Amino acid sequence: METPLHTLDATEKSIGRVASAAATILMGKHTPAFKKNVVSKERVHIINASKARFSQKKLKGKVYVHYTGSPGGLKMRHAEKVIEQKGYSELFKKAVYGMLPSNKLRTERMKLLRVTE
């Protein structure tokens, strides 16, 4: 049986709206058979990530923080730098990742997400 594929077009939409729609589908909340402890087998494909609406304030002000675990290892990157290094798809992946519940199923759900620019 083929798993359902949902395609979300990000053209002229804000990153948060697209990410929340993707997170809802990945959790399976849109189906009547929703269970919190089961991974929905529905895949999500976000297209046209580079054509999404990004304000200049968001690009300059949004900071992604990562701690390496070593002393002095707090890494901070602005959204502009993330786009420069990894592309627009990384912003969508980080947004969806933050909207999913932080449990053992998060990584399994993230494997069902695909983002193309």
For residue 60, tell me if it sits in a domain.
Answer: no
For residue 81, tell me if it sits in a domain.
Answer: no
CATH code where residue 44 lies: 3.90.1180.10
For residue 109, tell me if it sits in a domain.
Answer: yes
For residue 62, tell me if it sits in a domain.
Answer: no
Higher pLDDT, 106 or 4: 106
For residue 72, tell me if it sits in a domain.
Answer: no
pLDDT-above-90 percentage for the chain? 96
For residue 79, tell me if it sits in a domain.
Answer: no
Q: What local confidence, expressed as pLDDT, does residue 103 receive?
A: 95
For residue 47, tell me if it sits in a domain.
Answer: yes
Instruction: Provide CB contacts within 8 A for 25, sequence distance 6+.
Output: 6, 40, 42, 44
- Please state the pTM of the whole predicted model: 0.93
Label residue 3 by pLDDT band (50, 70, 90): confident
Residue 23 in this model has a pLDDT that exceeds 80:
yes
Residue 86 in this model has a pLDDT that exceeds 90:
yes
For residue 106, tell me if it sits in a domain.
Answer: yes
The 10s digit of each residue's pLDDT in 28-82 is 999 999 999 999 999 999 999 999 999 999 999 999 999 999 999 999 999 999 9
What domain range includes position 49?
A: 5-54+88-115
- Contact status, residue 78 vs residue 62, Cβ threshold 8 Å: yes
**C-alpha to C-alpha distances, 74 to 47, 49, 64, 71, 79, nearest whole angstrom:** 32, 28, 11, 8, 16
The residue behind tokens 């399994």 is 108
- Number of domains present in the structure of the chain: 1
Q: Write out the DSSP string of the chain.
A: -PPPEEEEE-TTSBHHHHHHHHHHHHHTTTSTT--TTS----EEEEE-GGGSB--HHHHHH-EEEEE-SSTT-EEEEEHHHHHHHH-HHHHHHHHHHHHS-SSTTHHHHHTTEEE--
